[in-house]
Amino acid sequence: MSEELNKEIERRRTFAIISHPDAGKTTLTEKLLLFGGAIHVAGAVKSNKIKKTATSDWMEIEKQRGISVATSVMGFTYGDYKINILDTPGHQDFAEDTFRTLTAVDSVIIVVDVAKGVETQTRRLMEVCRMRNTPVIVFVNKLDREGRDPFDILDELESELKIKVRPLSWPINIGAKFKGVYNIYEKGLDLFTPSKQTISERVEISDVNSPEVDKLVGEADAAKLRDDLELIEGVYPEFDTEEYLKGEVAPVFFGSALNTFGVKELLDCFVKIAPSPRPIDAEERTVKPSEEGFSGFVFKIHANMDPNHRSCIAFVKICSGKFERNVNYLHVRHNKQMRFAAPTAFMAQKKNIVDEAYPGDIVGIPDTGNFKIGDTLTSGEDLHFKGLPSFSPEMFKYIENADPMKSKQLDKGIKQLMDEGVAQLFINQFNGRKIIGTVGQLQFEVIQYRLLHEYGAQCRWEPISLYKACWIESDDEESLASFKKRKHQFMAKDKEGRDVFLADSNYVLQMAQSDFPKIKFHFTSEF
């Protein structure tokens, strides 16, 4: 294995930022890009002086609502490191997109609002991180506003996220009296000056007991800081990088992303301790990043990044070896060789064509319908990466064509949006009608909006009362046939042609499960 490959793997940091809506995730992403020199003015999203909206939210509907609904990928260099951030939708209606994104990262930063603490969405995402033992760092945001006591926040993080925590920085007061943060990891004092454009001043301090601290923050706050730090040392064990890498302990940082405060400390510590790309499990074997042979998988498909061009982009996470432009690779599911003339790397909306990419990088490949989520590309080996589930939807509507002249456009639009994983399509075998299943209400609006604006197709929704869709299978042909016969009004096929049972109530589902013991009911598509 080449020296060069190893060096490139070591300097890669690929991570996702996750949070509840409004905790400040998009702002934090922007500030990290600012430090990476990737953008030069912080587009304070809510200020009118700067008309640019946040660099990572580029879909029209996101701009209107101020939420991120599509996961964007941003890469930049910081010092010797190559950093890839995957921005995830904070809105819970897009949880599924976020779950899939978490399969493509090596670590995670969780943003928590100091006033609201841990919210439901954060809990669910943390479960996915725990399932995969993904290392987690917590950033407690908005310290320049009134909020809860930092010790209470730490207790809540431990109980709600079910993970041990260790503060690596500590706030001096909070809200209107907020004076700054003491950096425990690097032993320095950061004094707070509220500003969206400049970075606050940094004072190196060898000893927190020195009288200089009293001069800088006042005697009362200095005394409280010393007490707090003593308490922290007494309560929390020393920070251990190994435990963090195993996903057992989460370092905690405090700051205000909007005021660019505490962000650099987070980034400096992150590049030092966060993992470089890790081995990934395929069905056949475990794939190590340092292998010579190239492999990667599609974890997301995004239609029409540029409204002027009708095209999709398949996002490929590189797992091993080196990816090169214009080289033939095997598309495992189609069993055919493909080469890519214009693979791209992303800097938010700016795309650059890349000649090569390494494990941990995310490459965008123009797609004309060749890819599905979960597809594998390799230098020739037959590999299948696992763990890209579709969850059983919770909301259902019939989708109907509102403009008979445009039925082709509608079909094409639905097919592309479903391949992208926005929602799931079921075709009712009884009446042939199309049913869209989603995780949340907002997805129906997004689908309607995008069908109209990207495909020129109008759809309308009609109500259908369903409780759950579940995939069914059985080794017993006979009981499968009699189940389908008895439930023929509630049988559908998904876009892969697999059998799906549409239960209209919890009771009906439980009865079906007890009446047909030989049939397996699945609630995710990974089986």
Q: What percent of the chain clears pLDDT 70, i.e. is strictly above it?
A: 84
For the stretch 423-434, pLDDT in tens is: 889 999 989 999
Comparing 120-124, 243-247, 327-331, 356-360, which segment has the lowest mean pLDDT? 120-124
- The CATH classification number of 280-378 equals 3.40.50.300
**pTM (predicted TM-score):** 0.78
Question: The sheet that has 434-438: what strands, in order across it?
Answer: 459-463, 395-401, 434-438, 424-428, 491-493, 499-503, 468-473, 520-522
Give the pLDDT confidence of 377-394 residue by residue, as tens digits: 999 888 888 766 666 788
Task: Tell me which CATH code domain 16-73+87-273 carries.
Answer: 3.40.50.300
Give pLDDT, residue 25: 80
Phi then psi dihedrals of residue 187, to 5 deg: 50, 65
Say which range, 212-216, 341-345, 439-443, has the weakest mean pLDDT: 212-216
Same CATH topology for 16-73+87-273 and 280-378: the answer is yes
242 pLDDT more than 50: yes
Domain positions in the chain:
16-73+87-273, 280-378, 395-522
Least confident span in 137-146, 334-343, 345-354, 504-513: 345-354
Who has greater pLDDT, 62 or 478?
Answer: 478
22: confidence class by pLDDT, cuts 50, 70, 90? confident
Q: Residue 468: what are its φ and ψ, rounded to 5°? A: -155, 150
Reply yes or no on whether the pLDDT at 232 is more than 90: no
Helix (H, G, I), strand (E, B) or coil at 200: coil
Contact 107, 5 (CB under 8 A): no
Q: Percent of the chain, pLDDT > 90?
A: 28
Q: Say which CATH topology domain 395-522 has.
A: Alpha-Beta Plaits (3.30.70)
Residue among 219, 221, 178, 185 at smallest CA distance from 200: 178
Is residue 51 scored above 50 in pLDDT? no
